[in-house]
Chain A
Amino acid sequence: MENIGALAILLAFCFAVFSVIASLVGKFARRPFLVLSAERAVYSIWALLTVASGILIYSLIQGDFRLAYVAMHSNRSMAAIYKFTSWWGGQEGSLLLWSWLLASYATVVVYRNRRKFRDMMPYVTAVLMTTQTFFLILIAFVASPFQVLMAGKGIVDVGDGQGLNPLLQYWTMVIHPPMLYLGYVGFVVPFAFAVASVATKQPGDAWIHTTRRWTLVTWMFQTTGILLGAGWAYAVLGWGGYWGWDPVENASLLPWISATAFLHSVMMQEKKGMMKVWNIVLISTTFFLCIFGTFLTRSGVVNSVHAFAQSPLGRYFVVFLALGISATVYLILNRLDYLKSEAQLESVLSRESSFMFNNLILLASCFAVLWGTLFPVISEAVTGEKISVDAPFFNRVEIPIALFLLLLTGVGPLIAWRRSSIESLQRAFLWPLTGGLAVAASLAAFGVRHVYALMSFMLCTFVAITVVLEFVKGANAIRAKSGADLLSAMVELTHRNTRRYGGYLVHVGIVLMFVGFTGKAFDKDTTVDVKRGDSVQIGHYELRVANLESGQNENYRWGILTVGVSKDGADLGTLRPERRFYLASRQPTSEVAIRRRLNEDLYVNFASVSDDNRTVTIQAYVFPLVSWIWIGYWVVLFGTIICLVPSKSRLIWPRTEVVGIAGKHAKVEK
């Protein structure tokens, strides 16, 4: 079995190399059959990798512990679903998942464009398959998932495996890695189109139009992945946080930030023909940050809680990144003439300039995260001393950045294109600003003294009011004509320009998340040792530790604490935090109990129990507003989906005529 899997991977590798060469040779030598066969190779790679993945999954579920991968990541007593998720539970398997997802994306791209973009497609295929080749080198020669444990080590029989890390045996962890990977891998596609567009000297934005949905969907996957991770950390790890600025978390955030910048700046290119080079740079940055993120998790370069074991993979990634970045930079510099901007920035008070500042800020925040993440590496190289910076550094830099972005979120959509007058801005911002200030003032009157929190709530109100006003204004215009009621006028409005109003909804979601993040400023926590029957006070809550039950199943031993909760004397029922000890991995975990409400969460962790079973340590937290992060996520998701719905009326942008250098060269390539 494992030989078939290994063979499939090897064949896939050969096909990928062939595909790269054939599509490029076919393009230059004008041999359409070679291009076609390169595209067929893409389909075959998908089939081969599906077989390899299928065999790995089968071995995991069957418990074929002869395989090193299975023995390390699966065991007999795990539920079937976790046996399946062990596919991406370790280094080798997750690389295979990466590769398989890339193959799937490539197949869809090649199939959908089999009759379109004939001039660009050979390059698209080549870029996709070069990336594929790289990952297949890793899987075939460096980190094979089909390594047999027994081979040459004198091991005769492996009775049972070590099992998947118990912390990962949780439902969000089932879908978090694939979501994140769907995001990571997905950015290869717009990048491939961007490269193809530059390589073929296309003057226009064809690559942006074709990949707009890809980028959005990919962005959505990545947002989902990040939020699932945050939600998992919150519900499982027992410290009540959802983000810790760990290198691996940062690795997922970096491409997300640059992709967000890209999603905004493409509008400039579509509507004004500006920022053409910039957009190519942004999507390339996003792609390389995705590869970099994968590298960061696997190389052991930076100490991380989540990193895979140290491995020799790092060098391969460095080489791939160096080659890829140099090639991209060379290509862009070589084609600068074809990417001339069609318009100039005219005024500081204009939509264009707000987009520019949005990009500047996003990139600055991306750079700050990158800098902080790599600080140990940089400082070691420069001063010889390894110095790390922690969460406080990131919070200090990123919180002001985030607040400024929030401000732009409100300001940007209201400023006119080209230039805006002060008077029109005063008119547009009168109500939002008044509302924001009113909220901040009343919070301050109620004794809130946290400056950032006040600013954040003010800006959240500000943005929310601007968005509502936009909807109402547009809907009223429709009502004036058709006489429909407000709600259906809003639906009609959204349907007419889904991108714009979907985008506003995404902004609302982000605002809600910010409300949730700001709640962090008001956390309360306590850690106490209590005897059974004793009470703990936290905020308005009183926790009464009642009894402790315990037991054992084949996977773990458990103890469940029953905690009676009352608030200001009123009984609110019980919470039952649990503590488990997983037998296979000999690791304890806590299953926290959370009472989720819109205003605040009560979060109780059963941290430990004394040897005589009398005293228990519990950690209790009150987290105000956390739920709004998850609600905000659903709004973001909804808004993104709206953006994906085709607009009812095709809008024609008043766009400067393409003349001059770009127009001239448009005919060169035939």
Chain B
Amino acid sequence: MNNYIKFGLLIAAILGTLAWLAVGGISDTKTYYKTIAEVNQMGDQGKEKRLRVAGDVEPNSIVRDGRNVQFTLAQDQLRLKVVYSGVDPLPDTFKDGAQALADGKLGSDGVFHATKIQAKCASKYEAKPAMQKPAGVRTS
């Protein structure tokens, strides 16, 4: 067989495998960024997709109940009830008024069931281009 064909086939096989892995990886892990307004309008659609919602933690809305934590995310006048039932304790920066990102799915009760929370304290505070990516510790 011609060398070019051999190399071509090998390269195609490798790149094909990787592309297949990548496509599978994307469809399994993709998370949609949505605003609270969009989530409220999503209806049933929201129950299938993994969503990421951003907002501020409404002051005095945090209720801890054993492992579960309930709170309300606020953006302007809109509100979204969130129940967090993940394994990891909430990040140190998660408190009233913090900016938070919640990952999870919308339940049929209209409550957002989060499996991961990232929080960023509201103070004007920068982190470094360092490496850090805990289960939701935002240093800024």
A interface residues (Cβ-Cβ under 8 A, vs B): 72-73, 88-91, 94, 162, 165, 167-168, 173, 176-177, 180, 226, 229-230, 232-233, 236-239, 241, 243-246, 248-249, 251-252, 294, 297-298, 303, 305-309, 345-348, 353, 356-357, 360-361, 364, 368, 371, 375-376, 385-394, 396-397, 400-401, 404, 527, 585-590, 607-608, 617, 619
A239 to B21, CA, bound (A): 28
B129 contact from A72, A226, A297, A376, Cβ within 8 A: A297
B131 contact from A252, A392, A588, Cβ within 8 A: A252
B100-137 to A contact mask, C-beta < 8 Å, 1/0:
01000000000000000010010111111111111101
Q: Tell whether, in the assembled complex, residue A233 and residue B133 are in contact, meaning their CB atoms are under 8 Å apart.
A: yes
Q: Tell whether, in the assembled complex, residue B126 and residue A72 are in contact, meaning their CB atoms are under 8 Å apart.
A: yes
Q: Tell whether, in the assembled complex, residue A309 and residue B140 are in contact, meaning their CB atoms are under 8 Å apart.
A: yes
Question: What residues on A are CB-neighbors of B131 within 8 Å?
Answer: 176, 226, 229-230, 232-233, 243-244, 246, 248-249, 252, 306
Q: Tell whether, in the assembled complex, residue A393 and residue B134 are in contact, meaning their CB atoms are under 8 Å apart.
A: no
Q: Tell whether, in the assembled complex, residue A167 and residue B132 are in contact, meaning their CB atoms are under 8 Å apart.
A: yes
Q: B75 at interface (Cβ–Cβ under 8 A)?
A: no
Q: Tell whether, in the assembled complex, residue A233 and residue B128 are in contact, meaning their CB atoms are under 8 Å apart.
A: no
Question: What residues on B are CB-neighbors of A385 within 8 Å?
Answer: 32-33
Q: Which of B17, B25, B131 lies at the interface centre, i.e. has the most chain A CB atoms within 10 A of its CB?
A: B131
Q: Tell whether, in the assembled complex, residue B126 and residue A388 are in contact, meaning their CB atoms are under 8 Å apart.
A: no
Q: Tell whether, in the assembled complex, residue B126 and residue A308 are in contact, meaning their CB atoms are under 8 Å apart.
A: yes
Question: What residues on A are CB-neighbors of B28 within 8 Å?
Answer: 392-393, 396
Question: What residues on A are CB-neighbors of B15 within 8 Å?
Answer: 360, 364
A306 to B87, CA, bound (A): 23
- Other than the given A177-B129, A305-B127, 13 more pairs (CB < 8 A) read A88-B128, A90-B128, A167-B132, A229-B132, A232-B131, A248-B129, A248-B131, A309-B126, A360-B15, A389-B30, A390-B29, A586-B121, A619-B88
Q: Which of B52, B132, B138 lies at the interface centre, i.e. has the most chain A CB atoms within 10 A of its CB?
A: B132
Q: B63 at interface (Cβ–Cβ under 8 A)?
A: no
Q: Tell whether, in the assembled complex, residue B26 and residue A393 are in contact, meaning their CB atoms are under 8 Å apart.
A: yes
**Chain B residue nearest in CB terms to A309:** B126
Q: B92 at interface (Cβ–Cβ under 8 A)?
A: yes
B67-88 to A contact mask, C-beta < 8 Å, 1/0:
0000000000000000000011
B134 contact from A180, A241, A401, Cβ within 8 A: A241
A230 to B130, CA, bound (A): 9
Q: Tell whether, in the assembled complex, residue B126 and residue A91 are in contact, meaning their CB atoms are under 8 Å apart.
A: yes
Q: B3 at interface (Cβ–Cβ under 8 A)?
A: yes
B interface residues (Cβ-Cβ under 8 A, vs A): 3, 6-7, 10-11, 14-15, 17-18, 21-22, 24-26, 28-33, 52, 87-89, 92-93, 101, 118, 121, 123-135, 137-140
Q: Which of B24, B129, B134 lies at the interface centre, i.e. has the most chain A CB atoms within 10 A of its CB?
A: B129
Q: Tell whether, in the assembled complex, residue A386 and residue B133 are in contact, meaning their CB atoms are under 8 Å apart.
A: no
How far, in Å, is B131 (CB) from chain A's closest CB?
Answer: 3
Question: What residues on A are CB-neighbors of B137 within 8 Å?
Answer: 167, 237-239, 305
Q: Tell whether, in the assembled complex, residue B24 and residue A360 are in contact, meaning their CB atoms are under 8 Å apart.
A: no
How far, in Å, is B60 (CB) from chain A's closest CB?
Answer: 16
6 cross-chain CB contacts under 8 A? A233-B132, A305-B127, A305-B132, A368-B22, A375-B30, A589-B92
A110 to B52, CA, bound (A): 51
Q: Tell whether, in the assembled complex, residue B93 and residue A387 are in contact, meaning their CB atoms are under 8 Å apart.
A: no
Q: Tell whether, in the assembled complex, residue B3 and residue A346 are in contact, meaning their CB atoms are under 8 Å apart.
A: yes
A72 contact from B6, B124, B133, Cβ within 8 A: B124
| Given contact pairs A390-B29, A607-B89, A177 touches B130 in the complex (Cβ within 8 A) | yes
Question: What residues on B are CB-neighbors of A239 within 8 Å?
Answer: 88, 134-135, 137
Q: Tell whether, in the assembled complex, residue B22 and residue A237 are in contact, meaning their CB atoms are under 8 Å apart.
A: no
A347 to B93, CA, bound (A): 58
A249 to B127, CA, bound (A): 13
A177 to B29, CA, bound (A): 31
Q: Tell whether, in the assembled complex, residue A348 and residue B134 are in contact, meaning their CB atoms are under 8 Å apart.
A: no
How far, in Å, is A86 (CB) from chain B's closest CB?
Answer: 10
How far, in Å, is A655 (CB) from chain B's closest CB?
Answer: 22
| Given contact pairs A233-B132, A388-B52, A608-B89, A401 touches B121 in the complex (Cβ within 8 A) | no
Question: What residues on B are CB-neighbors of A393 within 8 Å?
Answer: 22, 25-26, 28-29
What 8 pairs between A and B have smallest CB-CB spacing? Answer: A244-B133, A229-B131, A297-B129, A393-B25, A386-B33, A246-B133, A396-B25, A239-B134
Question: What residues on B are CB-neighbors of A244 within 8 Å?
Answer: 131-134
How far, in Å, is B26 (CB) from chain A's closest CB?
Answer: 5
Question: What residues on B are CB-neighbors of A167 within 8 Å?
Answer: 127, 132, 137, 139
**Chain A residue nearest in CB terms to B24:** A396
Question: What residues on A are CB-neighbors of B128 within 8 Å?
Answer: 88-90, 94, 165, 168, 173, 177, 306
Q: Tell whether, in the assembled complex, residue B92 and residue A587 are in contact, meaning their CB atoms are under 8 Å apart.
A: yes
